[in-house]
Structure formats: structure tokens, C-alpha cells
Amino acid sequence: MCRSNSGNGQRDAAMDIAAIDWNEVWREKRKKRLASGRGPRHWDKRAPSFAEHAPKSDYARAFLEIMKPVRTWTVLDMACGPGTLALPLAQKVKSVTAVDFSDKMLAILEERLAESRTTNVRTLRARWEDDWDAAGIGLHDVVVASRSLNVDDLQAALSKLCRACRKRVYLSIIVGDGPFDRRIFAAIGKEFVPLPDYVYVYNLLYRMGIYANVSFISEKHDRTFENFEEALESVKWMTTEITPEQENKLASYLKAHLVSHDGKWRFDYDFRVRWAVIWWEK
């Protein structure tokens, strides 16, 4: 006969979760995946592809549907990238402070602001690790960190988000493998080491005494390319560093899985990415 004591089991699990140093677990998990680090130059290089992909994705609309912006809000968009959220948010709130450490990301955003004649967005260059008061980031009604928790000290980053807001914090992070395609890694013979996902963030928030809400966005990636070279560069980013031999294997994999479609090239299989949107009241 099987016996269950679910009440005691739940209490024990809660005690175990609270006892784990999720900040250190997060740090160690990232160290295994990102041994070489990814600084401003990496994101400067990726800025154009980020900007090109954003209009094709339904991510921003889904995020704002969860967020439900209010016209009177002042919003901080931390690590804003090329303005994936800052631009649509500006149409729905009082003002946006868009912060990033990549000059190229900010340059693309500023160009788009000028083109759309949007005047209620302030851009600012700063890092997660900077002194936010000295950087002039200031206090906002709502703080957003969309797909941007590229930090080693997660607890410090979450604390900064809390201190910078009056009302709510919204952040998003990968679920499971996120945008990393395991089939690519298998094809080139490189071990896939996943990044820490939303569970680490949620559990650390719990340990910090924050009882957060979680919603999910499921995003089908439109992996369509003008030519083979664009396809190769588009997927090479996820492998961080690869040898010439591995790059040759990657090229062979792409040749086997790219098909012609309306004069362009696309993968012969669909790829879906899931994001967790975690938010809480101040």
C-alpha cells in the first residue's frame, strides 16, 4: 500500500527551496554556459539582427497584453536593446527611460524614435552593474527587464529593479532551452549547456520574500533568410565559439535543412520559443 502525507511533503519542499542559495546556483549555471562572457561588443554586433527580427515577432504585443500599460505610467526599460518594447510602450504610457550598455542598440533605437517622431523616450547608456543613481536612471512607476537578465549577480539585479520602481516590476526570461536549438549543437558535436531559466528567478524571488506572478509567451520563430550566408551567421551566435571543423559541420547541417520558400530560405522544421513573464507589486 502506498501512503501519502502531502501536507508535510509540501512544507518540506518549501523549506528546501528557501534554503537553497539560488543566486549562487544561478551564477554557477551561467559560468558553465558563458565561460567567455558577452560584453557590449557582442551585443553591438547582434544589434542589427535584433532590430530586424523584432517586427516579425508577436512577442512585444503578447508582453504588453500581460503588462496592460496605463497612460499615466513612467516606465524604465532596462537593457532595452533596439527598442522592442520601448517603442510600442511609448505609445501607451507617459514616458519611457530606455537604458542599454550597447551603443549600437541605442543608436538603432534613437534612429527609430526620430523616424516615428516619438518624443517621450529618453535613452541612457548604463550597465546592470553600474551605480544607477550616479547614472541618472531615477525612480519610475513601472520597471521592465525584457529578456535582458544578462547578469552574474541575479539578486543584486532584482534588488535594483525593485528600488527603481514605485508600483510594479515586469521581467521576462527563457523557459527551458529558450532560443537555443539543441539540434544545432548535436549537429556540430558540441555539448549543449542550458542557461538558467525562469525557475531560478522565481525561486530566488521567493527566497527574497517576493511572491511573484507568472505568465507565459509562446513565440514561433520566423527563421527565414535571404541567402545561405545570412542563415549561417544567424544561427552561429548561439554556439558562442566554434572551431573551423564545427563551422563546416554547421554549414552541412544548414544545407540539409534549408528549403526554398517564396524566393528565400527557411528551415524545414518549426522552432518555438517560450518566455516566462514574471511580475510583482512593489
CATH number at 141 reads: 3.40.50.150
Distance CA 173, CA 176 (A): 10
Q: Report which of 145, 153, 137, 129 is spatially closest to residue 280, judged by C-alpha positions.
A: 145
The domain tally of the chain equals 1
Distance CA 101, CA 202 (A): 25
The answer to the question of residue 250 being in a domain is no
The answer to the question of residue 45 being in a domain is yes
What pLDDT does residue 210 have?
97
pLDDT in tens, 24-77: 999 999 988 764 445 555 544 554 655 465 555 789 999 999 999 999 999 999
What pLDDT does residue 16 have?
72
What pLDDT does residue 1 have?
33
Tell the burial category of 170 from Cβ atoms under 10 Å away from its Cβ (0-12, 13-18, 19+): buried
Taking 50 as the pLDDT cut, the residues of the chain under it are: 1-7, 9-11, 35-37, 43-44, 47, 51
The answer to the question of residue 11 being in a domain is no
Tell the burial category of 237 from Cβ atoms under 10 Å away from its Cβ (0-12, 13-18, 19+): middle
DSSP calls for 226-269: SSHHHHHHHHHGGGSS--HHHHHHHHHHHHHHEEEETTEEEESS
> Model pTM?
0.85
Show the domain range for 207.
Answer: 16-180+191-222+270-281
What pLDDT does residue 182 have?
95
What pLDDT does residue 96 have?
98
Distance CA 93, CA 147 (A): 20
Q: Where are the alpha helices (DSSP H) in 5-131?
A: 6-19, 22-33, 40-53, 59-67, 86-90, 103-116
Distance CA 258, CA 164 (A): 45
- CA-derived radius of gyration, the chain: 20
What pLDDT does residue 249 have?
96
- Are the CB atoms for 225 and 234 separated by under 8 Å? yes
The answer to the question of residue 256 being in a domain is no
The answer to the question of residue 145 being in a domain is yes
The residues near 163 (Cβ < 8 Å, ≥ 6 apart) are: 132
What pLDDT does residue 57 have?
72
The answer to the question of residue 99 being in a domain is yes
- Are the CB atoms for 194 and 176 separated by under 8 Å? yes
Residue 280 three-state SS? strand
The answer to the question of residue 3 being in a domain is no
Residue 18 three-state SS? helix
The answer to the question of residue 105 being in a domain is yes
Q: Report which of 215, 50, 63 is spatially closest to residue 142, judged by C-alpha positions.
A: 63
